[in-house]
Structure 1
């Protein structure tokens, strides 16, 4: 696997990865929520509102990505066909090497797979919000990991 900075030619592929991943993991969302967030993600990528890094497979095709605001993980999505194969772990480890700081992330409480993933990565819960950042009733778990060497 290789992690590279956001490539504009991959924009539509990254949005498609986001949508497949969300449909596979965010079963609590209704269709109108998915369309709302898809627009937000597309704009965040297009207008470089976050620092985006892609993971490429052996054919140089994106299979996942991470969006960062300094040491805060704004988004981390792995194509549903590659979930459970170490892509997310690779993204987090590479981010730790790059940032050299504490990492933080908010996870939808209903997305139990993501919460388990971050717990396995060493993140601990530091808080909880009843609403997501858009004011929707999807509670967020606030997680933090302190860098401990490798």
Structure 2
């Protein structure tokens, strides 16, 4: 079996691979997301969202299979290629973010109970809720914090 490797992103040249991973992950896990909202978010990934965070890429055999983005102690994004879900990629990215990037907070869509369960399994607890997402769309967010 191949060994999972975590590394910093190669920069903007790698963004198309990360967008592809994001899209596959979203299609597999975010069935509540309206097509127009999904497309709008996707259009901002490479131009706005990726440059704003510290990106860590998970790769197998030299190919990216997941990524995480952090900013100021918050996990802003964590997505795993749909074909590699459940194989420890997300756990490895989260562990890296907690251990080496001091992540203690994450927001998760309330309509994605598998993601909420993933974070709770890894020591996070719900500390609040917002009716709308950060862009004002009708997707409630759960605010989680790493237990002390």
SS at match of 1:95: helix
Quote the residue 1:15 is aligned against.
Answer: 19
CA distance in 2, matches of 1:49, 1:102: 16
CA distance in 1, matches of 2:130, 2:16: 31
CA distance in 2, matches of 1:134, 1:71: 20
SS at match of 1:136: coil
Q: What RMSD over aligned residues (CA atoms) do the two structures have, in Å?
A: 1.2
Deviation at 1:4, TM superposition (A): 0.8
2:91 to 89, 92, 107: 89
CA distance in 1, matches of 2:55, 2:43: 16
CA distance in 1, matches of 2:103, 2:63: 29
CA distance in 2, matches of 1:126, 1:10: 35
SS at match of 2:90: helix
SS at match of 1:38: helix
Q: TM-score, normalised on structure 1?
A: 0.91
Deviation at 1:146, TM superposition (A): 3.9
CA distance in 2, matches of 1:24, 1:108: 14
CA distance in 1, matches of 2:131, 2:72: 24
Deviation at 1:40, TM superposition (A): 2.1
2:54 to 48, 51, 56: 51
CA distance in 1, matches of 2:74, 2:117: 18
CA distance in 2, matches of 1:73, 1:97: 12
SS at match of 1:4: strand
Q: 1:102, 1:146 within 8 Å by CA — same for their partners in 2?
A: no
Quote the residue 1:36 is aligned against.
Answer: 40
CA distance in 1, matches of 2:97, 2:38: 27
The size of the alignment, in residue pairs, is 143
Structure 1 stretches of 4+ moved >3 Å: none
Point out where structure 1 has 5 or more consecutive residues left out of the alignment.
none
Point out where structure 2 has 5 or more consecutive residues left out of the alignment.
none
Quote the residue 2:110 is aligned against.
Answer: 109
